[in-house]
Amino acid sequence: MRWKRQAWAYGFILPAACAISFSFGYPLIRVIRFSFQSGSVDDLTDVGFQNYAWLWEDPVFALSALNNLKLLISVPIMTALALVIALILNGQIHGWRQYRAIVFFPYILPATAVGLVFSYLLEQSGVLNTLLRSAHLDILAMDWLGSADNVVPTIGGVIVWQQLGFGVVVFAAALLAVPQELIDAARIDGASSWQIQRFILLPYIRRVIEFFMVLQAITVLSSIFAYVFVLTKGGPAKASSIIEYYIFENGFENGAIGVASAAVVILLLFVSVLILIYLQLRRTNAEVDR
């Protein structure tokens, strides 16, 4: 009877599992196959690991991967800022619900629209530099998007600005779930607000923080194409190229299907490593709880 009940449950899951397998599994198999081939889609020839060897020797791909790793620095920055804001809002200051909605608003904006707005704000003669020069702060006015030294940190700043609201809402919701009895008991024992935050609130939402950081790391690695495409198109001189843009450029503009597919496989491996790290963290936490 137990086996029959389980089979009945799996029967309900089967249609969705088949649809997901067809939607994601089949394209994945095709991409892996393309990574070992060269030529157009209609005329592909097997080349073995030649595409991967090309990526290994291509300085543009190396620079793109390095830029993705640099942008990962934005993850702890946005996490720290989101935690600070969430802790402030958790104190239920006057109008905290409105402040939370204001902070969350950039997250629901399309990345393309955000890129267009910031391209006007951050160009050399844009709004930001004009305001800085008007305030006699010419030393702070710089070529945010046209300088190879500034472009990657600038893109990272735009990503932090848009993704910050998501972290604030997630952390604020997690903080609201903290049992009030723990906080009241700590106050009776003489704990200060800082001690309550440090030793009760933050440890209680540690798993949420870990989940958010892994999720944002995956986002930075695989979902920031729109920012780069709209803001810089990989420039200047490929200085802001990322793996996603490298895939787009080779696959759609240059017609190098095999090279682009090999880059997709490598990007998938990077993301898989982050997923495995998160699963290991969950497994470790479950063992600790036992």
**Is 284's pLDDT higher than 80?**
no
Mean pLDDT of 143-169: 93
| In a domain? residue 288 | no
* Averaged pLDDT for residues 151-169: 94
Residue 251, in any domain of the structure? no
pLDDT, tens digit (0-9, with 9 covering 90-100), for 237-258 = 899 999 999 999 998 888 889 9
Q: What is the pLDDT of residues 209-222, one digit of tens each?
A: 988 998 999 999 88
Q: What is the DSSP string of 52-69?
A: HHHHHH-HHHHHHHHHHH
260 occurs within a structural domain: no
> Which range of residues forms the domain containing residue 223?
72-241
Which pLDDT band holds residue 288 (cuts at 50, 70, 90)?
low
Q: Which DSSP helix (H) or strand (E) runs through 39?
A: strand 37-40
The reply to whether 108 falls in a domain is yes
Answer whether residue 258 is part of any domain. no
* Number of domains, the chain: 1
CB contact at 8 A, 216 and 225: no
**133, pLDDT greater than 70:** yes
* Residue 90 located in a structural domain: yes
In a domain, 170, yes or no: yes
Query: Given the structure tokens 């702060």, which residue do they identify?
Result: 137
- Does residue 248 sit within a domain? no
> What CATH number does the domain containing 132 carry?
1.10.3720.10
Q: Quick one: which of 205, 201, 171, 209 has its CA closest to 183?
A: 201
